[in-house]
Amino acid sequence: MIYVTRKSHFNAAHRLHNPEKPDDWNRKIYGKCNYPNWHGHNYEIEVVVAGEPDAKTGYVIDLGKLQSIIDEIIIEPCDHKNLNTDVDFLEGIIPTTENLVRTFYDRLKEPVEQSAASGSSLFLVRLYETERNFAEYCPYPRI
């Protein structure tokens, strides 16, 4: 099995706030990330595709094609946007790194697997909110 990764970048604003909870609960749980007037992050997203290379091309997935899928599905809707208010597929989701990475995985799965070599799978999506904080979503046993 070969694991192929493409890394991409976007900037976005967000606020962590659970509208079902009182303001003091939100301030206590989310701290600075609950600041009412938003704050921004330089997000990095890594998309990992697992499979066997196609016999004719030698590719698990064409990385240019993978980048265009990531651009269309994640970067264009999210870059320089407010993740709480501007992105339809994030409506009603508290935009923690955990919730974002699972939502991104679910959106990428079908188009990525359709463009990859036969039998390949979208193995993992990793989302960095800062250099030190990241979350991964992977529905498979880990290597």
**Residues taking part in catalysis:** 33, 80, 129
User: Shortest gap between Cβ of 107 and Ni ion (angstroms)?
Assistant: 21
* Amino acid residing at 72: E
- Residue with smaller CB distance to Ni ion, 131 or 141: 131
- Residue with smaller CB distance to Ni ion, 98 or 113: 98
* Amino acid residing at 118: S
Angle at alpha carbon of residue 21, lines to 36 and 94, rounded to 5°: 60
| Position of minimal CB gap to Ni ion | 33
- Residue with smaller CB distance to Ni ion, 51 or 95: 95
Strands (DSSP E) contained in the chain are: 2-14, 39-51, 81-82, 121-128, 134-137
- Residue with smaller CB distance to Ni ion, 5 or 133: 133
User: Shortest gap between Cβ of 18 and Ni ion (angstroms)?
Assistant: 14
Chain residues binding Ni ion by CB under 5 A are 33
User: Shortest gap between Cβ of 16 and Ni ion (angstroms)?
Assistant: 6
Sign of CA dihedral 14, 95, 92, 30: negative
Q: Is 141 exposed, middle or buried (0-12, 13-18, 19+ CB in 10 A)?
A: exposed
User: Shortest gap between Cβ of 97 and Ni ion (angstroms)?
Assistant: 8
